[in-house]
């Protein structure tokens, strides 16, 4: 035990020392971007990478007189790989910033490396509330699950939904979805008659959907991570559950813009809450959707793409303000930033380092032959309820 702790503390000291002030003298500004580019969450990685590269293409690859170097690594969606790559990026490449983090477990496993090496870590995708508390060096530009599901619970009550079954993916953001939705819904007289959790890897929704059907709720409340919604909705429609009058209300990842087009008829009328829709009606968003389509050979950006695009902006602006410094100086300049994003107004809460932005209630509609998440209601400057509760 003693020996193990000793080795661990030597490794920690080596990591801290090896950084020294190397980045302070560097003539390049390095960003290590960790993404799931292969494996079941490859669509998330592709959206994130395209969003980050689009920002660079539009804003140049020089900040504060230093050449920006984006070092992209494939974490394959596996935490151990993420951890090893983050360590290499910090120790060997001496990156000023770690960024990306497609899934919560990938962010959580890298958090101690950010703390130990004093490297700002920009979370562009993962959404569990507790992530920003895992390291004082974490800044988030994605969203938090509690931000959106609490607003969805209010909407459900106002729209005469009283009995729901909850079906979520069995890992941290799914658990956040289940808990925060349930608390808010039940406090207003709603009833969650069953809570179901499906595995993260290769989920088979069939036996779970059978239970939902048997319970005869007013609505199914659901969360699955981006990319997975197509198979959920396909199986929902194969069982004729939409025809049986069971509505779907969901965390917005379920109808993510990347895959919405391949969901078909069954998605029509699904109500979700989220922070970004490709249909968001602003000049900036129209330009963003068009530029993203051109850059990607016709893909529609989803909320992952926006998280990366805005994350790059936060990094660039902080680097400009601090002449390309790293560590605490750079982190300080990320806190409190405020700007218009393709999603609407965005700021980084200087206390929590978490994202503050509008949350929209959306309904899937067909417009000119294509499915869109049409925003029907806006809640402004929403903070993470996970922090407000403490």
Residues interacting with ligand PHB, by CB under 6 A? 103-104, 126-128, 173, 225-226, 253
Residue closer to ligand PHB, measured from CB, 126 or 263 = 126
Shortest distance in whole angstroms from residue 183 CB to ligand PHB: 19
Q: Which two tokens stand for residue 264?
A: 């078909």
In DSSP notation, 128-175 reads -GGGGGS-TTEEE-S--HHHHHHHHHHHHHHTT--EEEEEEESSHHHH
Is 341 strand, coil or helix? strand
Residue closer to ligand PHB, measured from CB, 15 or 39 = 39
Point out the residue whose Cβ comes nearest to ligand PHB. 253
Q: Where are the beta strands (DSSP E) in the chain?
A: 28-35, 62-63, 66-74, 97-100, 121-123, 138-140, 163-169, 191-198, 219-223, 247-251, 271-274, 338-341, 344-348, 355-367, 370-382
**Alpha carbons 351 and 330: distance in angstroms, whole number:** 16
Residue closer to ligand PHB, measured from CB, 126 or 196 = 126
Per-residue b or e along 204-223, where b marks 16 or more CB atoms closer than 10 Å to that residue's CB: ebeebbeebbeeebbbbbbb
Shortest distance in whole angstroms from residue 113 CB to ligand PHB: 18
Shortest distance in whole angstroms from residue 229 CB to ligand PHB: 9
Shortest distance in whole angstroms from residue 62 CB to ligand PHB: 32
**Alpha carbons 176 and 178: distance in angstroms, whole number:** 6
Residue closer to ligand PHB, measured from CB, 96 or 358 = 358
Residue closer to ligand PHB, measured from CB, 235 or 272 = 272
Residue closer to ligand PHB, measured from CB, 145 or 164 = 145
Shortest distance in whole angstroms from residue 121 CB to ligand PHB: 14
In DSSP notation, 349-369 reads -TTT--EEEEEEEEEEEEETT
Shortest distance in whole angstroms from residue 255 CB to ligand PHB: 11
């Amino acid at each position: 035990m003693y020996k193990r702790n000793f080795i661990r503390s030597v490794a920690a000291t080596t990591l801290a020392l090896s950084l020294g002030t190397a980045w302070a003298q560097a003539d390049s500004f390095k960003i290590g971007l960790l993404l799931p580019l292969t494996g079941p969450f490859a669509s998330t990685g592709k959206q994130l990478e395209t969003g980050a590269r689009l920002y660079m293409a539009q804003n140049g690859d020089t900040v504060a007189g230093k050449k920006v170097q984006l070092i992209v690594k494939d974490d394959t969606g596996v935490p151990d790989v993420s951890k090893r790559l983050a360590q290499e990026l910090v120790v060997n490449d001496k990156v000023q910033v770690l960024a990306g983090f497609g899934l919560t477990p990938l962010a959580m496993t890298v958090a101690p490396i950010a703390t130990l090496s004093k490297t700002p870590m920009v979370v562009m995708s993962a959404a569990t509330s507790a992530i920003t508390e895992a390291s004082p060096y974490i800044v988030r530009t994605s969203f938090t699950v509690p931000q959106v599901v609490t607003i969805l619970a209010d909407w459900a009550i106002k729209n005469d939904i009283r009995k729901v079954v909850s079906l979520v993916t069995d890992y941290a953001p799914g658990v956040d979805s289940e808990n925060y939705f349930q608390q808010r819904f039940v406090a207003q007289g709603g009833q969650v008659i069953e809570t179901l959790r499906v595995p993260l890897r290769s989920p088979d929704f069939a036996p779970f959907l059978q239970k939902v059907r048997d319970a005869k709720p007013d609505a199914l409340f659901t969360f699955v991570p981006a990319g997975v919604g197509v198979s959920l909705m396909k199986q929902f429609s194969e069982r004729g559950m939409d025809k049986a009058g069971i509505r779907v209300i969901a965390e917005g990842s379920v109808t993510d813009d990347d895959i919405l087009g391949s969901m078909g008829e069954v998605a029509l009328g699904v109500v979700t809450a989220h922070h970004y829709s490709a249909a968001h009606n602003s000049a900036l968003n129209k330009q963003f959707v068009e530029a993203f389509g051109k850059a990607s050979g016709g893909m529609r950006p989803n909320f992952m793409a926006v998280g990366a695009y805005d994350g790059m902006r936060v990094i660039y602006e902080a680097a400009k303000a601090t002449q390309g410094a790293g560590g605490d100086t750079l982190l300080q300049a990320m806190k409190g930033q405020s700007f218009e994003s393709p999603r609407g107004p965005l700021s980084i809460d200087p206390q929590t380092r978490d994202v503050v932005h509008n949350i929209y209630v959306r309904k899937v509609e067909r417009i000119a032959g294509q499915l869109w998440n049409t925003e029907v209601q806006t809640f402004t400057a929403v903070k993470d309820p996970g922090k407000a509760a403490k």
